[in-house]
Amino acid sequence: MSDTSGWGPQGPRGQYGPYGPQGPYGPYGWNGWTPPPPPPKPGVIPLAPLGVDHILGGTFATMRRYAKPLFGTAVAAYGLVAVVMTAAAVLAYVSVRDHWRALSEPGGTFSWDDGRPVLIAFGVVWLLTLLATLAVNSFIQASCAATLHEAVLGRPATFGAIWRRAWSRTPSVMGVTVLLAVILLLPAATCVLLFVSFFVTVLTQSAVPFGLIFLLLLVVTPLAAWLYVLFAFAPAAASLETAGPLQALRRSVRLVRGAWWRIFGISLLAGMIVGAVSLAVRLPLQFAAPTPHPVDPGSSTSAVLLDQLRSQFGLYAVFTLVASFVTQLAASVFLPLVTAVLYIDQRIRKEGLAHTLAQAASTQGS
pLDDT tens by residue, 109-133? 667 777 788 888 888 888 998 899 8
Between these two residues, 12 and 293, which has the higher pLDDT value? 293
Does residue 42 lie in a domain region? no
Residue 104 placed within a domain: yes
Say whether pLDDT at 305 is over 80.
no
Q: Which of 343, 320, 331 is nearest to 140 (CA)?
A: 331
109 within a domain of the structure (yes/no): yes
Half-sphere exposure of 268 (CA within 13 A, CB side): 9
Q: What is the pLDDT of residues 177-224, one digit of tens each?
A: 998 888 888 888 888 777 777 777 766 666 667 777 778 888 888 888
Query: Quick check: is 12 in a domain?
Result: no
- Return the higher-pLDDT residue of 142 and 291: 142
Contact 310, 290 (CB under 8 A): no
**DSSP letter (8 states) at residue 14:** T
Decide if 241 is inside a domain. yes
For the cut 70, the answer to whether the pLDDT of residue 290 exceeds it is: no
Alpha-carbon distances of 134 from 60, 171, 261, 270, rounded to whole Å: 25, 10, 28, 22
Could you tell me if residue 38 is inside a domain? Answer: no
- Ranges 28-32, 269-273, 317-321: which has the least confidence: 28-32
Question: Could you tell me if 197 and 213 are in contact, meaning their C-beta atoms sit under 8 angstroms apart?
Answer: yes
Torsion of CA 9, 150, 263, 46, to 10 degrees: 100
| Structure confidence at residue 108 as a pLDDT band (50, 70, 90) | low
Tell me the residue range of the domain where 220 lies.
52-365
**Domain count of the chain?**
1
In a domain, 309, yes or no: yes
In a domain, 23, yes or no: no
